[in-house]
Amino acid sequence: MLTPDNIRSSFVTPATDLLESPSIGEVIAGKLLMLIVFLLMCIGIVIVYSSGAGWAVTKYSSSEYFLWRQLTFAVLGSFTVLLVSQMDYHFFWKTSKIILFASIILLTLLLVMKVVGLISGAARWIGFGPIKFQVSDFAKYAIIFHFSRLITEKQSYIRDLNNSYYPLLTLLMTVVALVALEPNFSTASLIAIIGFMLMFIGGVNIRYLLTTFSLLIPIAGVFAIAAPYRVARLLSFFSGDEKGLSYQVAQALIGLGNGGLLGLGIGASKQRDLYLPLSYNDFVFVVIGEEYGFVGALAVIALFAGFFVCGIIIAKHAPDSFGKYVASGITTAISLFAFINIAVACHLLPTTGVALPFISYGGTALLFNSLGVGILMSISRYKKRESQKVVSPVNLLYFRGQGKKSYLQSKGDMGNDRERQ
């Protein structure tokens, strides 16, 4: 049976070699990732205040309501990154089953509460009072952790249909179906994409993936058109007539057009208060484009592109397979959500309820993404932490002694060979 220790011993440079030090690329990627996330959080604080002040006055009688909440969660998110980065990421190997089982229970509980009438409308949030979180965010990371573990454990027979692919597919479709029934079709689709991506990277037979994908497309299509509001979004997206655009999309395009090259200036958005719904959440990128123009919007896209590159570098140089898959999954998840949000704002994809990571208003999403960044940092720093343990004075004397012992032993073996000759 594979354990974290076995995994590490298989992929990490032995301690007797004083452990491989992290490369310059890894060090730069880790530090740059921290800087990028910090900048995105700062942008989020400013933009949420700018875009949500008017709505906050209307709803909560305070223009600073969204500002202080976003600032609080940004600080908590920063502490989460720093705290988790100091942990051994193999903790999530040990707890992946518990995390996945808990996510399935919570998703099922939401649907039960909806059936009995305790929740009206979409059943996405759980908790009491101000302490609530979106269970699909939890389920997304649960899939990443447990899939990374299972794919690592099954590497020797990863292309086997019955013992490898079917168990992985069953777990993924269970979570995806529960999220879709909330209903949250967009997040369910993204979780499915993340799961299939991890299986592809892990070496699952691509024929199985393509066959399953071809079967799921018609099912997803039927589910998408089962709800009138989703049909309206699709018709709006594929409409070639400007009059056929949905109200949100039309106002979003007007906002982006207002920004021009350099924008209208900080706090000068015209769309945020009167015309653009959820300007501080789903369509926050429109406010960025309107106030900071094409240059500002491009800068945000560049930050997310940099995040993706740094995450891929960390995954590539991860100490073991589990770290590689976890880093790939987290990087893909955050980057994919950012891409979808920006594409929707630019009318490149149909309207969905996907927030812009680190920038859109929302506490629990920011904390879960901060957890993901902390794990990426933990993976990038693992070699450095282990090498520092090895090079401590006591360990250094021990390994030097082991080296001297090996040298004397090899010298004695050479002498014995000469006597035999």
pLDDT tens for the chain, residues 1 to 421: 555 445 444 444 444 343 466 677 777 888 999 999 999 999 999 999 988 887 778 788 788 888 999 999 999 999 999 999 999 999 999 999 999 999 999 999 999 988 888 877 677 778 766 677 889 999 999 999 999 999 999 999 999 999 999 999 999 999 999 999 988 888 999 999 999 999 999 999 999 999 998 999 888 888 878 777 778 778 777 776 665 567 778 888 888 999 999 999 888 888 876 677 778 888 899 999 999 999 999 999 999 999 999 999 999 999 999 999 999 999 999 999 999 999 999 988 888 878 999 999 888 889 999 999 999 999 998 877 776 665 555 554 544 554 444 433 444 444 444 444 4
222 bridge partner residues? none
* Residue 413 CB partners (closer than 8 Å, separation 6+): none
The SS3 assignment for 136 reads helix
Place of tokens 């299939």: 196
Cα dihedral 8, 9, 13, 14, rounded to 10, equals 140
Is 12 part of a structural domain of the chain? no
Is 77 part of a structural domain of the chain? yes
**Domain of 43, in residue numbers:** 21-398
Is 326 part of a structural domain of the chain? yes
Q: How far apart are CA 230 and CA 185, in angstroms?
A: 9
Is 345 part of a structural domain of the chain? yes
How many structural domains compose the chain? 1
Is 75 part of a structural domain of the chain? yes
Buried b (16+ CB within 10 A) or exposed e, 118-147: ebeeebbebeeeeeebbbbbbbbbbbbbbb
Q: Are 333 and 147 in contact (CB under 8 A)?
A: no
Is 4 part of a structural domain of the chain? no
Q: How far apart are CA 325 and CA 20, in angstroms?
A: 20
CA-CA-CA-CA torsion sign (277, 40, 317, 84): negative
Is 240 part of a structural domain of the chain? yes
Is 301 part of a structural domain of the chain? yes
